[in-house]
Amino acid sequence: MDLLSPTERAVSVEGLVRWFGGRPAVDGLSIEVARGETFGLLGHNGAGKTTTIRLLNGVLSRDAGLVSVLGMDPAIDGEPVRARTGVLTETPSLDERLTARENLAFFGRLYGVTGRRLHDRVRTLLDLFGLKDRADDRVAQFSRGMKQRLALARTLVHEPDMLFLDEPTAALDPVAAREVHELIEAFRREQRRTVILCTHNLVEAERLCDRVAIMRNGRAIAIGSPAELARSIRAPVTVEIEVRPEERERAAGILREGGFGESALSRTGVTFRVEGREAIPEGVAALARAGLAIYRVANTEPDLETVYFALYGAPSPAEGDGRETL
């Protein structure tokens, strides 16, 4: 570990363990998250994502491991840690008998925001999250998307340094999910807060996260940016090379003879599939050596979904630090 300096590090976790009823929910998890980074915890239900958030925010105690959040140990400094974090729980966790304004004010006061500052924060957030016109309606009358927007606003009421977002778009329809994605993107872009995002939504992770840890049985079986993870697996890469139309068949023959996998003619040139991106420059060089004019090379790398299923389809990782080297 210790890939980041202490000033760069928002979260440092080493060998984190938490048992429930004779079964480890988190089992030797080790991750580091940089300040300002959006870090995803990606995995199936029961992979240990929510438990990890609860451990990092000091509302659950750990059985083993070292944890530092914003320079503090949440097991010892639970309250100071929570004062600087905002949590979007899996369900909106809003009181439906209170209005939107009352919900925000209630949580604001619990986070120590009072008086004029609270009034201003509540008004700003209601405006920012498009709830100004419904501010004094009871939350029971809100749609799921509105509740989720309000819950997101609640996480920001005390201007935290760090956000934990647990399945922010679970149970939302596509339109509401898109709204929430746009809001998260906006505040990570504009405010550069550290965000830890739990999700089983691969598109969401790819869209929002700088790096992700793919979790399985309480362990991180892979950590990296979506692009790094994609490169790390030897999934087929499809490459399209644009050549003159009259040279397409010749190009396909050169690639076939060079052993670059199956190739086919496309509308503008030739495509071929290789196992791993290392073969791409060799294929392009072979065409260049044959005197073909190459106008464009485009490759379709495996996305996070491919990586996720490649890793989840693999046998359980060997015991050790709980991570595969990528």
Contact positions toward other proteins, by CB under 8 A? 20, 54, 57, 59-61, 78-80, 82-83, 85, 87, 89-91, 93-98, 102, 106-107, 109-112, 114, 138, 151, 154
CB-nearer residue toward other proteins: 36 or 78? 78
- Compare residues 57 and 68 and give the one whose CB is closer to other proteins: 57
Distance of alpha carbon 49 from alpha carbon 215, whole angstroms: 7
C-alpha to C-alpha distances, 54 to 18, 33, 50, 60, 72, nearest whole angstrom: 11, 16, 6, 6, 15
First to last CA, the chain: 14
Q: Is the dihedral of CA 311, 314, 315, 319 positive or negative?
A: negative
The contacts of residue 67 (CB under 8 Å, 6+ apart) are 11, 12, 13, 14, 16, 55, 56, 73, 74, 75
Please give the Cα distance from 323 to 200 (Å, whole number).
Answer: 19
Question: Please, which residue, 94 or 131, has the CB nearer to other proteins?
Answer: 94
**Helices H, strands E: what count in the chain?**
11, 13
- Residue 95 dihedral angles phi and psi, to the nearest 5°: -85, 115
* Nearest approach, Cβ of residue 81 and other proteins (Å): 8
Beta carbon of residue 276, minimum distance to other proteins (angstroms, whole number): 43
Shortest spacing between CB 96 and other proteins, in angstroms? 7
Q: How far is CA 190 from CA 35, 44, 69, 180, 187, in A?
A: 14, 30, 22, 15, 5
Rounded least distance, CB 285 to other proteins, Å: 56
**Least distance from other proteins to the Cβ atom of residue 218, Å:** 16
Local structure of 218: helix, strand or coil: coil
Nearer to other proteins, 147 or 216 (CB): 147
Q: From the CB of 150, what's the least distance to other proteins, in Å?
A: 11
CA neighbor of 211 nearest in space, from 197, 200, 221, 201: 197
Q: Compare residues 87 and 202 and give the one whose CB is closer to other proteins.
A: 87
Q: Which residues of 273-308 are buried (b: 16+ CB within 10 A; e: fewer)?
A: ebeebebbeebbebbeeeebeeeeeeeeebbbebbb
In angstroms, the CA 274 to CA 290 distance is 20
Q: C-alpha 145: how far from its chain's center?
A: 20
Which one, 139 or 270, has the nearer CB to other proteins?
139
**Residue 265 CB, nearest approach to other proteins (Å):** 57
Angle at 76 between CA 75 and CA 77, to 5 degrees: 105
Pick 115 or 315: Cβ nearer other proteins: 115
Nearer to other proteins, 112 or 245 (CB): 112
Minimum CB separation of residue 82 from other proteins in Å reads 4
